[in-house]
Amino acid sequence: MSDQQQPPAERPVVNGVVALAAVALGVGLILAVVALVGTKMLGLGGDDGDSSADSTVRQSMYLPTPVETDEATGPLVTLHTEDPDGGSSGDESAIPEDEPTTELTSETAAAGQISLQAQATTVASGERIYFSGVYPGGEGAILWVQRFENGDWADFPASVGVTNGTFSSYIFTGVSGVNRFRVVDRDSGTVSNEISVTVG
């Protein structure tokens, strides 16, 4: 009789161990789900390693709302050029790559010419490079940004529209050192002067 009563005495212990294991597993799953949802909501994750690469790959362009000018002869702007000898600002051979820009004020672009300027000549890596300019007679034109790379001008993934003869926007780049930019109207073939911005 004692042998037949022994198994019922062991069953509560086995059942208790199984119940504790099931509770522990359930609590662990709940905590894992809560942690996963929390990291998603807080924006934590493993994308940090690619953020620097994304900043160089994904170039961004912002076009502010243009403001109409009262000048009938065209808007007056402050130009940053790199031509210390007074030559044409569009002449690449006359523009030293490493020379700082010279500020010329109250210059008005002639009809059909594109004048380009940068807000700052030095920015940190990944910082916005603001630029603006005038293009008299270029109403509605789309200007494409180009960067000087490996001895030639290459298309940069950005463009800006001309409204009331003016344009302004910004770009990003993670390429350190001196970066030379210009804009071009592909429809007419008109090319702006170049600007140099030191990144880093």
Q: What is the pLDDT of residues 93-116, one digit of tens each?
A: 333 333 333 333 334 566 778 999
Asked whether 63 and 162 are in contact (CB, 8 A), the reply is no
Inside any domain, residue 172: yes
pLDDT in tens, 1-48: 445 555 555 578 788 888 888 898 888 889 888 888 877 777 665 555
CATH of the domain at 120: 2.60.40.1930
Kindly report whether the global pTM for this prediction surpasses the value 0.75: no
Inside any domain, residue 50: no
Q: Is the pLDDT of residue 55 over 70?
A: no
Pair 67, 36 in one domain: no
Q: What pLDDT score was predicted for residue 38?
A: 78
Q: 118 is in which domain, residue-wise?
A: 59-199
Inside any domain, residue 17: yes
Q: What pLDDT score was predicted for residue 46?
A: 52
pLDDT in tens, 85-94: 444 333 333 3
Query: How far apart, in whole angstroms, are the C-alpha atoms of residue 141 and residue 160?
Result: 9
- 43 to each of 24, 34, 57, 60, 146, how far by Cα in Å? 28, 14, 21, 22, 35
Instruction: Quote the percentage of the chain above a pLDDT of 70.
Output: 62
Asked whether 81 and 102 are in contact (CB, 8 A), the reply is yes
For residue 32, the number of C-alpha atoms closer than 13 Å in the C-beta half-sphere is: 6
